[in-house]
Structure 1
Amino acid sequence: MNVLSGRWVAILGFILWTAHAQAFVQEMTAEFRPDPSNPMINRFKNTTPESGICPWHIPERCKQLGIFSIRTTQIQFSSNGPILGNHVDPRKGVMFKLPTQWRDLPVVHLATGKSETVQIRIAGIGGKFHMPPPYDQTSWMYGNGSWSGARPPCLPTGYIIGNKYYLLWSWIAPLNIGACNVQAVKDLSSLFYETFEFSYELRTPNPLMMEAGQYVGTTTYSIGPNADFDFGDIMMPTDNQLTFNFTLDVDHHLKVEVPPGGNRIQLEPQGGWQAWLQNGRKPSRLFRDQTVNLWASSHFKMTLECPEPLGNTCSMRNEAGHQVPLDVMVSLPPGLSDASGRPVNRQPLTLDGSGTELLQPSMYVDRKPSTLHFEVKAAAVEQMLEQPGSTYSGTATVVWDSEV
């Protein structure tokens, strides 16, 4: 009497691109795929290849801070003049002013044009510098202001390695700070940053609320004196822009599993037909509850389809053509709610989809039981009993549709 059908789609991605003269482009990727072993973890996984301080030296601390690092030689810095010992103006020496504040990055669904927002901020700085002989590490102030200890408001990572003439180092940059600097205590004729290393932090949208498909967007930071990445007036970059191209892939699940025989429903009174056959007691309703298993990691809608509708629902008909309404309702497992955030309990399914046009998860629902309730109400049952010897049958198609 009833046929169940499901529609499910589940791939989403996002790409950021830009081409610009003199712009270093860094591809950034992340993905979301539901994990049955961790259904409560509903966030993107950063899949951008890492380099530098986080993967090679302090992975656990970076994990605690929620930051990632990239080291490159595609942007380098050279001094445009000498750095004087005991200089008063931080801009005339080693200075790092970073875009540590959160920046909104709109990303757009390629098919629908719907926009979501990613946020990024720079969370650390590092690199490798060289000094020409005879200049060496004694040229720098030590203690709390040294390369190893970092200069407030930056924080140390504890990482430093090198010799008299070069040094690899890395600092952490807290949110919304000003410039960090190291003062030279001796004159330096020149300075060269061979590598440019930065750490970053990401905030991504809730993937459970995003449509399947692909999103694209881009953002660019400026580099140079008084730019987003401002290393003072002495250290000049080989590139004046850093562009981030993001790609986010989301693999949503929407799957329905009907147990064997579950697509044929037989309606009966409470306790069966014995009370009617033995005592003539009319049943107040005919019903059947059918359990189906459900997987869902994104919003979806539910509707009815039927060859012989009656009002906003389906129907059953006997051989003589007498027709009665068949009501279909759904109860969904915890973790799924309606558009108002309420649990879904015996919610009517209708031909126009009203009331079930948006069903949304707060977690990944992994093979949880959902119940379809089929019912013929008392008034219709009384009409059916006036047609003795009749057999009523009908078809109802229940649709789970991810195209909301």
Structure 2
Amino acid sequence: MKSSRRFNNALKRLVAGITLSASLSLPAQALTQNIDASFRPDAANPQMNKFRNDTPISGVCEGHIPAQCKALNIFTIRDTAFRATSIGPILPGADLRNAAMFKVPSQWRPLAVTHQITGEVETVEVRIAGIGHRWDLPHPPGVSAWTLPGPPQIAWNRRWLDGVAPCVGTRYIAASSTMVLFFWLVPENAGACGLAPGTEIPKFWYSHLEYAYELRTPNPLTMSTGNYTGSITYTMGPGQDFDFGDVMIPADNLYTFNFNLSVQHTLKVEVPPGGQRVELLPQGGWQAWLNQGRKPTRLFRDQTFNLSASSRFKMNLECQYPSGNNCALWEPNAGHVVPLEVSVTLPSGLTDASNQPVNRRPLLRDGVGTELFQPGIYVDRKPGTLHFEVPRDHVEEMIKQGTARHYSGNVTVIWDSQV
């Protein structure tokens, strides 16, 4: 019996310990926001190599200070799911942590975004650049509780219009006797800002959160077509990333931003009509040979094309008649083969991996030397040239007096965006 009682007592202690541990494990409450941006090259503005913000704008940037937001390159979101409530009164002259305090992650923070198919990783940077709320309080005391009696007296609305350093007021509020909407800008790496009332406020609460964010995105011209996704999570509460002081406690303690960057590139080659059939000729044509019997020293053709490119690409050859790393032309009657050299000149704005312009760069079957071409700007229908030539020391072998010969062969030039 004693042994049984000891076992039951031990079991009770074990159950009590498990119950205590479970009671201390509180689930995290989280807010989420999707941030969407896209890049698609714009022929009307080829110098603009930036992502466009596609996240629906709400709040003050949408309906109240749009020009100011555009000039600052910020976007606002009004999150009506956010709540924060005071756990005690806010007293006149209170220190910042016991007043209406606002501290946001205003410093730049990096996050990784990953291509959903290739696994390529790029870095996005984000910072919170503004903060606002709808705040409410009972009446009395009403909004005039924020008036400082002075001397000199400072009106309650002026304090919320002007903001408090390091935050910067936007001169925007909307108010009733018990409610105010306000919005302040937050400079980079700013600390906490806020203010204490002139009259005790027994209860105070925020019924939404309004914030501006600023993005630094990768250079889309170096990214692959497709979607890149990633997320960053901020903490909320006293001493956290979003810190509203020790009196105002948010209902949620995490805020997650889910990023989706969509990249849609252009790579288009336009060859003029008849340009697929390349005829090699001597300089000035065949007249010198036909009339004077003077053998040509060059057989060549420069074929122009128009190129539109906003992404990296590589080039190489496929040949009907290979000749080492080049292609060849075949003469069936004589059974004679001559090598054909192919090279490319790309439009201005495109460079190789060493950031050098591309002028008569040899195109080879294995693609060596043409593994990477990249745009510095969006190149829109700019002319380039394919150069075809039989090496000089082989031309004499092709031309025999009194003998008709016809050399031919198919050459496929490949522009490949899968780099």
Task: Decide: shared fold, TM above 0.5.
Answer: yes
- Alignment equivalent of 1:218, drawn from 203, 224, 231: 231
**Aligned equivalents of 2:380, 2:28: Cα separation in 1:** 48
Is 1:400 the counterpart of 2:382? The answer is no
Structure 2 match to 1:352:
366
* Structure 2 residue 235 is the aligned partner of structure 1 residue 229: no
The CA deviation at 1:21 is: 4.7
CA distance in 2, matches of 1:109, 1:37: 28
Relative to the length of structure 1, the TM-score reads 0.93
The amino acid that maps onto 2:345 is S
Q: Which amino acid aligns with 2:257?
A: F
Counterpart of 1:390 in structure 2 is 405
- Equivalence for 1:134: 140
CA distance in 2, matches of 1:213, 1:197: 31
1:202 is matched with 215
Q: For 1:55, which of 48, 58, 62 is the aligned residue?
A: 62
Displacement, 1:386? 4.2
Higher relative contact order, chain-length normalized (CA < 8 Å, sep 6+):
1
Deviation at 1:138, TM superposition (A): 2.3
Distance 1:92 1:21, change over 3 A: closer
Structure 2 equivalent of residue 189 of structure 1: 202
5 Å matches for 1:5-404? Answer: 21-87=28-94, 89-140=95-146, 141=148, 142=154, 146-319=159-332, 320-386=334-400, 388-404=403-419
Instruction: Give the secondary-structure state (helix, strand or coil) at the position aligned to 1:147.
Output: helix
| Higher Rg | 2
Helix, strand or coil at the partner of 1:392 = coil
Tell me how far apart the structure 2 counterparts of residues 232 and 337 of structure 1 sit (CA, whole Å).
Answer: 53
CA distance in 2, matches of 1:193, 1:324: 81
Which range is displaced more, 178-187 or 382-391?
A: 382-391
Q: CA deviation at 1:164?
A: 2.3
Shift of 1:212: 1.5
Q: CA deviation at 1:213?
A: 2.2
Deviation at 1:280, TM superposition (A): 2.2
Paired with 1:275 and 1:397, the residues of 2 have a C-alpha distance of 31
Find the residue that maps to 1:291 and give its secondary structure: strand
Measure, in 1, the Cα distance between the counterparts of 2:47 and 2:180. 43
Matched to 1:230, the amino acid is: D
One-letter code aligned to 2:31:
F
How far residue 137 of structure 1 moved from its aligned partner, in angstroms, is 2.3
Q: Distance in 2 between matches of 1:301 and 1:323?
A: 28
Q: What's the offset of the Cα at 1:367?
A: 1.2
Is residue 145–residue 182 contact of structure 1 (8 Å, CA) maintained in 2?
no
**SS of equivalent residue, structure 2 residue 89:** coil
CA contact (8 A) 1:130 1:194 kept: yes
- C-alpha deviation, 1:145, in angstroms: 7.7
Please report how far the alpha carbon of residue 163 of structure 1 lies from its aligned counterpart in structure 2 after TM superposition.
2.1
Q: What secondary structure sits across from 1:146 in the alignment?
A: helix
1:214 Cα deviation after fit: 2.2
Q: Secondary structure of 1:246's match?
A: strand
Aligned partners of 2:90 and 2:196 also within 8 Å: no
- Contact 2:352–2:373 (8 Å) recurs in 1: yes
How far apart, in 2, do the equivalents of 1:31 and 1:233 lie? Answer: 39
TM-score by length of 2: 0.89
Give CA deviations for 1:162-209 in whole Å, capped at 9, x if unaligned.
022111100000000111011212111010111111100011111110
Name stretches of at least 5 consecutive residues in structure 1 with no aligned partner.
1-19
Gaps of 5+ in 2: 1-26, 149-153
Structure 1 residue aligned with 2:12: none
Cα distance in structure 2, aligned partners of 1:158 and 1:27: 28
- Which protein is richer in helix relative to its size? 2
**What SS does structure 2 have at the residue aligned with 1:228?**
coil
Query: What is the root-mean-square deviation of aligned Cα atoms in Å?
Result: 1.4
